[in-house]
Amino acid sequence: MASGAAKLIPSDPEKVMVIRRVNPNILICSTPFLRFGRIKVGGRGTIVKLKDNSLAVFSPTALTASVKQQMQEQLQSTDVKYITALDGEHHIFLESWHKEWPNATIIGPETLPDYRDKQGYFKIPQEKWKLFKKGDESSLSIDSTFDAEFDREYNHAHGNKELVFNHKPSRTLIEADLLFNLPATEQFSKTGVSATTGFLARLFGGINSTHGDATWQKRFIWYAISAGDRKGYNESVNKVSKWDFDRIIPCHGDVIESGGKGIFDKVMAWHLEAAKKGN
């Protein structure tokens, strides 16, 4: 782990991580996380058991003894075959997971290996990477087992280079920074500190909420996040909107247990409308 990452994560994740199963084949690991070392956005890893009993891990959090224990007890498997960094920022714990399961495929955006090298992170062998690449649909194919269970999209227009997945058997969208659902109530629930205290938490939480008409998050995505390549962003979220999902597991904020498709379409409404017009 690069030295600068330490201030963003809890010093003892074993004490504050919330591990729970959202359905028989999906385990989530929710932890406190401070954006820029100050803003309470929370962090979350998702572990999915595939039909062949292997595991796919998305945005891995700290690999604690409890995580390994719950994988065995709740999912009856510790056979990790896929480890995914959902974008250019959700990769802090790749090292520990790779060392525990050195044969697992590491999935991430095309920009990530070079970024990790520049920041001084542990170097993952080149042959272990499966990188999503702009303009290369074939790069989104992992293998027949993985592809059969997941819809896959690469939103290269997002500044963080977002990878988005839909676990088709459970109709569960798994994403990092594409959509927030703040406040991060579950992720801070074992800290003794409210997820909503502090000016920055209230401000950022208000902007990145899905409640009501979600106008502030719509504006934030439209005017800031997608401004660099709005057409590319429109096309990408339009693809995701066509998937069949109900639950959303975001990295930041609470899980949307049901009605996720409607919430996604609400937050992305301006982009979806623009995509229909070919913009």
31: domain CATH number is: 3.60.15.10
Does residue 147 lie in a domain region?
yes
Q: 201 pLDDT band (50/70/90 cuts)?
A: confident
Does residue 227 lie in a domain region?
no
**Quick count: other Cβ atoms within 10 Å of Cβ 235?**
18
Whether residue 192 contacts residue 21, with contact meaning beta carbons closer than 8 Å, is answered with no
Does residue 210 lie in a domain region?
no
- Residues 182-204 as b/e (b if ≥16 CB within 10 A, e otherwise) read bbbebbbbeeeeebeeeeebeeb
Does residue 203 lie in a domain region?
no
Confidence (pLDDT) at 200:
87
Min mean pLDDT across 107-116, 164-173, 195-204, 206-215 is at 195-204
Task: Report whether pLDDT(260) > 60.
Answer: yes
Task: Report whether pLDDT(173) > 90.
Answer: yes
Confidence (pLDDT) at 12:
87
Token pair for residue 113?
A: 């290996």
Q: What percent of the chain has pLDDT over 70?
A: 97
Q: Longest C-alpha distance within the chain, in Å?
A: 51
pTM beyond cutoff 0.85: yes
Tell me the average pLDDT of the chain: 94
Confidence (pLDDT) at 7:
55
DSSP-H helix ranges across 112-268: 112-119, 144-149, 199-207, 215-220, 230-241, 260-267
pLDDT: which is higher, 17 or 35: 17
Task: Report whether pLDDT(217) > 60.
Answer: yes
Can you give the residue range of the structural domain that contains 109? 3-193+248-257
Does residue 216 lie in a domain region?
no
Q: Looking up tokens 């999209």, which residue turns up?
A: 153
76-88 mean pLDDT: 97
Confidence (pLDDT) at 4:
52
**Cα separation of 237 and 275, whole Å?**
9
Does residue 271 lie in a domain region?
no
163-185 mean pLDDT: 97
Min mean pLDDT across 10-24, 65-79, 147-161, 226-240 is at 10-24
- Total domains in the chain come to 1
Task: Report whether pLDDT(63) > 80.
Answer: yes
Confidence (pLDDT) at 37:
72
Q: 3 pLDDT band (50/70/90 cuts)?
A: very low
**Cα separation of 107 and 189, whole Å?**
30
Does residue 110 lie in a domain region?
yes
User: Which strand ranges, in their side-by-side order, compose the sheet holding 247-250?
Assistant: 150-155, 162-167, 172-175, 247-250
Does residue 44 lie in a domain region?
yes
